[in-house]
A and B are shown apart, each in its own frame.
Chain A
């Protein structure tokens, strides 16, 4: 399974320096948090491991991750000022340099614990080089999701107690057929009985139209690309 799929993963991204893995990749890791938390979080605790723990200050990893949490792109001129911008918006921030090995076995690892508009989420991501990232653990309201890592990842929540749940799932699978589902996993979160979360790992990105259609068939959809 190829980690890098597009020629633009190699030539690109256009970004604010100085490091593609520790700055542009860190913006991408933060952006995942923005998506998972349902917007700008009110609290962010950021834990660094290995190379990230040793060099985050020199590579601008702190402001890069916060830029992503704020929803900025890697080439947004506000990237270097993101920490001040976040604090002025009332975001509570802590950074931790961890000594133990990465929980997801990669030298450029960050674990983020966020409180956001959609609730609490904890996730572990790593920056594998050139600005490309992997998300290997997502704890969404107590439900632990463990994707292989590469984006795009689609999470779909379905109420399986509903009569048409099977039909809805079929529709979603139809919509995804062309985008190369490399893995599909079903999880049962704590909480109301009958709810299930489906993780789809995709080869190709989804269009806005596809995302809208899938959202229409599910109780909640999170698309990370």
Chain B
């Protein structure tokens, strides 16, 4: 099993294969299951992601029980189809899919955690662009999920992927790095370019705290996935154009870990500090929970 990004990239380079192929081989070896079984399991994950995107974008969208989130993906869909947007349609399609997913999550719908539920929109946002803009079919998208998973495994084992231990940088930051690497492979980039995109995307979100209003996975989580997915696409484009991260990916992960460990508990998913601690944030807590 690969224990660093450097090792993951060199395994792919030595075999003359892609990162996704290394991830599939390792999964087959560890689980004693067939390649077909593993492929089908990832296909099911993709199906759940696509269903959540569709559900959150349809009609007026979905709304959480608390009323703190919902309907924004549907508003974006209407906006990008009727107006000339500032960011362009590819970015906004990704943002819409990401927000749709997190709105479904906040409304207690079915989603696929990637790597977590709070960051579950970031990767589907990027997949939407790979499908609509680059024409990837389901098999191509499933490959991208294995690539994302490989980068996520190293991040989770070397640092952390939960807001309670590392802040939002560990959730949306990790998801954005994973999604950037997946996008590069989906767009035909080589393993090293995947790693560069991962490092750039994660670097851009270092220090991000986990400050959910009323302790709910709604505000600011839905919007944070919008930025996570857009950031991933931009990092992927930088890497595909030949851009590199001056700090190697494994050192970026180490930096994320050390920042996470020095964050106060009030900014690690306790619903106490940051936006949760603002007068309005506290008022929402009282409205939702009566305390």
B is bound to A? yes
- Seen from chain A, the residues whose Cβ lies within 8 Å of a Cβ on chain B are 2-21, 23-24, 50-51, 54-55, 57-60, 75, 77, 80, 106-108, 127-132, 203-205, 207
Is B187 in contact with chain A by the CB < 8 A criterion? no
Complex Cα distance, B268 from A132, in Å, reads 18
Report yes or no: B153 in contact with A17, Cβ–Cβ below 8 A: no
Residue of B nearest to A74 (CB): B113
Contact A11 B165 (CB under 8 A): no
Complex interface bits, B152-172 against A, C-beta within 8 A gives 1, otherwise 0: 110011001111110000100
B32, A10: Cβ atoms closer than 8 Å: no
B residues whose Cβ falls under 8 Å from a Cβ of A: 1, 3, 23, 26-27, 30-32, 41-42, 44-45, 48, 104-118, 120, 123, 145-146, 148-150, 152-153, 156-157, 160-165, 170, 178, 212, 214-218, 265, 268-272, 288-289
Indicate whether A80 sits within 8 Å of B108 (C-beta atoms), given known contacts A11-B152, A54-B270, A108-B164: yes
Most buried by B among A4, A19, A131: A19
Closest Cβ–Cβ distance, residue A53 to chain B (whole Å): 9
> What are 7 residue pairs bridging A and B, where the CB atoms are less than 8 Å apart in the complex?
A2-B157, A4-B153, A57-B289, A58-B216, A107-B265, A129-B156, A130-B113
**A residues near B114, Cβ cutoff 8 Å:** 10-12
- Min distance, Cβ B284 to any Cβ of chain A, angstroms: 10
* Besides the known contacts A8-B27, A10-B152, A14-B48, 18 further A-B residue pairs in the complex with CB atoms under 8 A apart: A10-B153, A10-B178, A11-B145, A11-B152, A12-B113, A17-B108, A17-B110, A17-B217, A19-B116, A19-B217, A20-B117, A20-B162, A50-B265, A57-B289, A108-B164, A130-B115, A204-B30, A205-B31
- What is the CA–CA distance of A130 and B111 in the complex, to the nearest angstrom? 12
CB-based contact A18/B216 at 8 Å:
yes
Closest-CB distance, A106 to chain B (whole angstroms): 8
Select A75's contact among B42, B104, B110, B156, beta carbons within 8 Å: B110
Chain B residue numbers with a CB within 8 Å of A23 are 117
Q: Are B113's CB and A20's CB within 8 A?
A: yes
A204 CB contact (under 8 Å) in B31, B268, B270:
B31
Q: Whole-angstrom distance from the CB of A187 to the nearest CB of chain B? A: 29
Considering the chains assembled together, what is the distance between the CA atoms of A62 and B150 in angstroms? 32
| Given A17-B104, A129-B170, A204-B31, also A58-B212 (CB < 8 A) | yes
Tell me the bound Cα distance from A75 to B44 in angstroms: 13
Among all A-B residue pairs, the 4 with the closest Cβ atoms: A129-B162, A55-B215, A17-B105, A58-B215
Pair B27/A7 contact, Cβ less than 8 Å: yes
Interface pair B117/A18, CB less than 8 Å apart:
yes
Across-interface contacts of A6 in B (CB, < 8 A) = 27, 30-31
A54 near B150: Cβ-Cβ < 8 Å: no
Q: Which of B31, B150, B153, B215 contacts A59 (CB 8 A)?
A: B215
Contacts of B48 in A (CB 8 A): 14
Alpha-carbon separation in the docked complex, A14 to B104 (Å): 13
Given A4-B156, A58-B212: A16 in contact with B269 (beta carbons within 8 A): no
Would you call A7 and B150 a contact (CB within 8 A)?
A: yes
B31 contacts across to A, CB distance below 8 A: 6, 204-205
**Contacting B45 at CB < 8 Å: which of A14, A77, A128?**
A14
Closest B residue to A52 by beta carbon equals: B164
In the assembled complex, the Cα of A19 lies from the Cα of B108 at a distance in Å of 9
CB distance from B52 to the nearest CB of A (A): 9
Q: How far is the CA of A57 from the CA of B108 in the complex (A)?
A: 13
Which of B32, B107, B162, B212 contacts A55 (CB under 8 A)?
B212
Quote the shortest CB–CB distance from A62 to chain B (angstroms): 13
Q: Which residues of chain A have C-beta atoms less than 8 A from B215's C-beta?
A: 54-55, 57-59
Residues of A within 8 A of B165 (CB): 106-107, 128-129
When C-beta atoms are compared, the residue in chain B nearest to A79 turns out to be B108
Cβ-defined contact, B153 with A16, below 8 A: no
Q: Which residue of B lies closest to A75 (CB)?
A: B110
Q: What chain A residues lie within 8 Å of B152 (beta carbons)?
A: 7, 10-11
Q: Which of B104, B106, B148 contacts A11 (CB 8 A)?
A: B148
Identify which of B110, B157, B218, B289 contacts A4 (C-beta below 8 A). B157
The reply to whether B146 and A13 form a contact with Cβ atoms under 8 Å apart is: no
Q: Which chain A residues lie closer than 8 Å to B111 at the CB level? A: 14-15, 17
Residues of A contacting B110 in the complex (Cβ-Cβ under 8 angstroms): 14-17, 75, 77
